[in-house]
């Protein structure tokens, strides 16, 4: 697994743990105490910034009353959903049939299978990495992404 894939997976795993904690009505303090880890460590893990070793993962899974494998599976699914959403957006932004900038609502209409929250997160990630430019309501592919597309290096 490449470093950036690792990071994406850790972020997804952190999000899954946070969602499960909130669904169970637990505070970070309560879950950290139940799992026997520090509250700050848990906060970092939930943001995808903390190192999550197998021991901590098992302890958190036990405290959340679910198998660690389920957490991992859900994180995989979330990572995949994010990648699919980002790929769909990139393909829209590079669509020559739509040369003008896109709006969020246009992108949402063009991607009905992607729920709005996921679309917003995907856009944020694409903007943070310089693939998309968000300019108020307008969204377009960056010059760098367009150049790679012009060079024929973007494959579907």
Partner 1 sequence: MPGQPIDPLQEEGTQRLVVLQLLRDDHDPKWTRVELEKELDDIDPDAIAIALQRLQEQGVVQADGEQLSASPCAWHLDALNFITI
| Dist CA 38 CA 44 (whole Å) | 10
| Dist CA 56 CA 79 (whole Å) | 20
Please say which residue, 23 or 155, places its beta carbon nearer to partner 1. 155
**Least distance (Å) from partner 1 to the CB of residue 17?**
23
Q: Is 5 in the site for partner 1 (CB under 8 A)?
A: yes
Please say which residue, 19 or 95, places its beta carbon nearer to partner 1. 95
Choosing from 99, 112, 117, 152, the residue that interacts with partner 1 (CB under 8 A) is 152
User: What does the buried/exposed string (b/e) look like for 103-142 if buried means 16 or more CB atoms within 10 Å of the residue's CB?
Assistant: eeeebeeebeebeeebbebbbebbeeeebbbeeeeebbbb
> Site residues for partner 1, window 36-75 (CB under 8 A)?
none
Q: Is 111 in the site for partner 1 (CB under 8 A)?
A: no
Phi-psi region of 136 (alpha: psi -120 to 50; beta: other; left: phi over 0): left
Please say which residue, 5 or 137, places its beta carbon nearer to partner 1. 5
Residue numbers at the binding site for partner 1 (CB under 8 A)? 2, 4-5, 8, 83, 86-87, 90, 125-126, 129-131, 142-148, 151-155
């Amino acid at each position: 697994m490449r470093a950036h894939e690792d990071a994406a997976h850790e972020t997804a795993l952190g999000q899954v743990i946070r969602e499960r904690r909130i669904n169970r009505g637990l505070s970070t303090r309560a879950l950290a105490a139940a799992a026997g880890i520090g509250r700050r460590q848990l906060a970092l893990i939930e943001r995808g910034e903390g190192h999550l070793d197998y021991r901590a993962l098992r302890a958190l899974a036990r405290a959340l009353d679910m198998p660690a494998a389920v957490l991992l599976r859900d994180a995989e699914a979330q990572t995949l959903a994010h990648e699919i959403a980002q790929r769909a957006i990139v393909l829209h932004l590079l669509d020559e049939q739509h040369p003008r900038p896109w709006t969020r609502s246009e992108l949402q209409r063009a991607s009905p299978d992607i729920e709005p929250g996921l679309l917003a997160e995907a856009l944020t990630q694409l903007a943070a990495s310089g693939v998309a430019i968000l300019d108020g309501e307008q969204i377009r592919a960056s010059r760098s992404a367009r150049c790679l597309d012009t060079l024929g290096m973007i494959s579907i």
